[in-house]
Amino acid sequence: MGTRGYYVYRYRKIYIVHYNHCDSYPDALGVEMLQCMQSYNAITKKKQELGKILDKSKGRYYLNSDNDYVSNERPQNDLFIEWIYEIDLDRNIFHVNGIPFFDLECLPDTNAFLEYISKDHYGLVACSPVCPPKNRYKRPAPQVVDNSDLATYHSLVCTSTQATLSDLLPISDVLSPDEHVRVSLLETLVGQCMFRPRIASAIYELGLVSSHDQLTDNLWLVACAMANFAFVPQIFDAGVISHPTMKRKEFTWVRDDTVVCISTHLDDEQCLQACLSRLINAILEQKDNPGDYFGVAFSVFHCAIVKVVKDAHLKTFSHTAALEFLPSFFADSPSTPGITALARLGYRIDPALFVRFVEISRQPGTGEGEDEKSQATDDTPPNTSCAVLPLELWCEVALNLQLPDLLTFGLASKSCREIASMVLRYPHVCGYRLVSVAKEKPKGLLRQYVFLRIACFSAVRARVPATVLVGLQSNKWLAGSMSVPFYCAKSPLSMHVTEIQPEVAKENLVEDEGDEEGDEDEYNEEDEGDDDDDDGDGDGDEWNFSGS
């Protein structure tokens, strides 16, 4: 049939891309590529063949067809290219649609090959969990860590290597309702990343990097953006809020007291300690004031949090173990210890929150908002006369303000700024203030693992309570679009916010029993793909509120 695709060879980090006009399905072009690599000495022969061509080409490699090309970048699926089979001779991996599948040195037979090409719980092509380890691609081992990279870790006093977040902050082990909202929103943002094919491909690629110094700029941005979700002001509204773009740095200060370092293989003890050493050095070198500082070691797959205590006479540190951050692509729940830890770490009171709110409330480079920013950073209150009211009443006033009015309110005085900062700790999406995770959810949210990337919240907008879905578009009930600060993988992250109208909610909401893993509906590979648009950004999602 007319299904178009590519078959690709990767060698010396160069992609040699061949166009296939038809029959690119796994049982046609996929099997053909499989069988050509199962012939005797296929890997060696292919390397020799491509090596001779590349040696002679001197960087100028011409192909016979106009539709074939050579690139330093991996080809991507799009509306016209449905299937891509990549023979990665640099790492001995057979990829399908940018996802690593098989070990070239131990490929499955044809029937097993077709069986193992499945879909994950996010609706993307993935290697089935039933594929045996011998056939799966092999993740590279971490680079050997030099003893000098561990010097700081071993020279300072470490009070705990298995600390919990409640030990570090300190806070209760039980999440508050406000923290629960932050955690659920972060789970949704991570799920939206895993739902998008290009970002998912970059995530898999992160797992094939041996050391942090081998990360490309794009992979670094993917990792740092996902870590930064927890620390940016939780205010998202396309056209109204503009979060700044990120620039690559070894250490990214996401708050005045919190720094993030992107690494790899944090599940390896030596790699973890080396990254924590770098974080501790960054804190000691850049922060002279006594106090508590936090470092986040982050690899997308895992994270660890270190607390450095500085006083006039002693410097000590303690840290968590490596916490799982990214859910499995075959997860039954969006929750992980790492997501919960980062969301709670980002929820701490931030003295600079209102100033950061002012900065993102105006388009950068236009000059707008400079006066407001200057006033927000000035501790001297303006000549504003305010009625003397109890603090509780001012808080109630602030909770009922829209964001533009909250900005004006916070600029009135120092005390108003503190009240506004309290309100800004709640997540705001498209003018809604999220106040709790909804106890009742649409029936359809419990089907086909949709809850891994879409969340339901109780919210308030202009004093009116509402039930909103974050991450899903309904053409009938669409309330707005929220832009999330994710400027990498050539896949900007724009999400939809949908308000469930009362007449719809009355008949289609079911009470959440807190056990999504017990969903009785079986995952249906064919149905899941029907909800997604070609870019995997959710723009084409439709919603059946009946869940049928």
Other beta carbons within 10 angstroms of residue 462's beta carbon come to: 10
- Cα separation, 296 vs 462, whole angstroms: 37
Distance of CA 355 to CAs 352, 360, 372, 376, Å? Answer: 5, 9, 9, 6
Distance of CA 354 to CAs 132, 383, 409, Å? Answer: 52, 19, 11
Whether 477 shows a pLDDT value over 90: the answer reads no
Per residue in 231-248, pLDDT (tens digit) is 999 999 988 888 888 899
DSSP string, 315-349: EEEEEPPPEE-SPPTT-S-S--HHHHHHHHHHTS-
User: If you search the block for the tokens 């919190």, which residue do you land on?
Assistant: 258
Q: Which of 303-312, 431-440, 458-467, 492-501 has the lowest mean pLDDT?
A: 492-501
Which pLDDT score is estimated for 491?
67
Residue 275 CB contacts under 8 Å (≥ 6 apart), including other chains: 212, 261, 263, 266, 297, 304
**Mean pLDDT, residues 420-448:** 90
Q: Are 301 and 319 in contact (CB under 8 A)?
A: no
Nearest to 285 by CA among 319, 313, 308: 308
- Cα separation, 163 vs 319, whole angstroms: 6
**Mean pLDDT, residues 447-458:** 92
Highest mean pLDDT among 13-22, 235-244, 271-280, 467-476: 271-280
Q: Which residues pair with 118 in a beta bridge?
A: 126
Per residue in 213-227, pLDDT (tens digit) is 999 999 999 999 999
Which pLDDT score is estimated for 417?
94
Q: pLDDT tier at 510 (50, 70, 90 boundaries)?
A: low
Which pLDDT score is estimated for 547?
34
Per residue in 382-402, pLDDT (tens digit) is 444 455 778 888 899 999 899
- CB-side neighbour CA atoms (13 Å) of 441: 22
When comparing pLDDT for 543 and 197, which is higher?
197
Q: Are 121 and 135 in contact (CB under 8 A)?
A: no
Highest mean pLDDT among 313-322, 506-515, 534-543: 313-322
- φ, ψ of residue 526 to 5 degrees: the values are -70, -40
Which pLDDT score is estimated for 540?
40
pLDDT averaged over every residue in the chain:
86
Q: Are 428 and 353 in contact (CB under 8 A)?
A: no
**Residue 150 DSSP label:** G
List the 455-461 sheet strands across, edge first. Answer: 235-236, 428-429, 432-437, 455-461, 464-470, 493-500, 478-484
Q: pLDDT tier at 543 (50, 70, 90 boundaries)?
A: very low
- Cα separation, 73 vs 81, whole angstroms: 16
User: If you search the block for the tokens 């388009």, which residue do you land on?
Assistant: 363
Distance of CA 393 to CAs 298, 337, 409, 428, Å? Answer: 41, 37, 14, 21
Which pLDDT score is estimated for 539?
40
When comparing pLDDT for 248 and 528, which is higher?
248
**Mean pLDDT, residues 38-44:** 94
- φ, ψ of residue 506 to 5 degrees: the values are -55, -40
Percent of the chain with pLDDT over 70: 83
Distance linking the first and last C-alpha atoms of the chain? 32
Distance of CA 91 to CAs 22, 96, 113, 238, Å? Answer: 28, 14, 19, 40
Is 121 buried (19+), middle (13-18) or exposed (0-12) by CB count in 10 A? buried
E-assigned strand segments in 1-149: 5-11, 14-20, 69-71, 83-88, 93-96, 99-103, 117-119, 125-127
Q: pLDDT tier at 521 (50, 70, 90 boundaries)?
A: very low
Q: pLDDT tier at 87 (50, 70, 90 boundaries)?
A: very high
- Cα separation, 424 vs 355, whole angstroms: 11
**Mean pLDDT, residues 348-360:** 94
DSSP string, 166-212: HHHTT--SSPPHHHHHHHHHHHHHHHHHHHSHHHHHHHHHHTT-SSG
User: If you search the block for the tokens 């997860």, which residue do you land on?
Assistant: 331
- Cα separation, 125 vs 128, whole angstroms: 9
When comparing pLDDT for 341 and 66, which is higher?
341
Nearest to 319 by CA among 472, 166, 161: 161
